[in-house]
Amino acid sequence: MRCDDGCGACCGVVPAGYDEYNAIIEYALAHGIKPIAQGVTCPFYQEGKCTVYPVRPTMCHVFGHVKEMPCVKGYNVNVDPKIVRKAVEESGKDSAVLLHEALVDFGIVKSTSEVLGDLTSLLEAAMAAQRALNR
Ligand code: SF4
Ligand code: SF4
């Protein structure tokens, strides 16, 4: 999909699973990259680019490819819902559950029943879209 150089408008607070988180930490340490606190902008968005691009979370991969996460500039290239549905059926929910537990641990999420459904749906869509894109 098209993406404007140096835009980064979608690089805000991004949920990541444990494996994704660990991969980013490892990559950042290996490449001397230091996260920068900059409000709601992702700490790894620096000088107009993603400094951890090779290991960016699934959410970043699929931004602009699922209707739940539209590009604010309208460059969406959404994945065929049939492909997404098939991939969802083949995928597990482990990442979504682990992510939710982490959010509870950090006090970001108050109630399990309040958000788990939405979070699971969003992550399932994101994971499925990524799988579809990798085919
Ligand atoms: S996907 Fe859209 S909002 Fe995100 S960086 Fe690209 S052009 Fe900007
Ligand atoms: S990890 Fe990279 S692509 Fe994802 S929000 Fe941060 S800067 Fe943007």
Of 28, 116, 112, 128, the residue nearest 69 (C-alpha): 128
Please give the model's pTM, rounded to 2 decimal places: 0.66
CB of 60 sitting under 6 A from ligand 2 = yes
Evaluate if residue 29 carries a pLDDT over 60.
yes
Atom 7 in ligand 1: which residue has the minimum CA distance?
3
More confident residue, 51 or 107: 51
Atom 2 in ligand 1: which residue has the minimum CA distance?
71
Tell me which DSSP letter residue 38 carries.
Answer: B
CB of 44 sitting under 6 A from ligand 2 = yes
**Cα separation, 29 vs 91, whole angstroms:** 31
CB of 53 sitting under 6 A from ligand 1 = no
Residues 6+ apart with CB under 8 A from 86: none
Distance from the CA of 55 to the center of ligand 2, in angstroms?
9
Do the Cβ atoms of 50 and 91 come closer than 8 Å?
no
- The gap from C-alpha 102 to its chain's centroid, in whole angstroms, comes to 15
Evaluate if residue 96 carries a pLDDT over 60.
no
Q: Give residue-wise pLDDT tens across range 31-90.
A: 999 999 888 889 999 999 999 999 888 778 777 776 667 788 888 877 665 664 555 455
The reported pLDDT for the residue numbered 113 is 45
Percent of the chain with pLDDT over 90: 17
Evaluate if residue 20 carries a pLDDT over 70.
yes
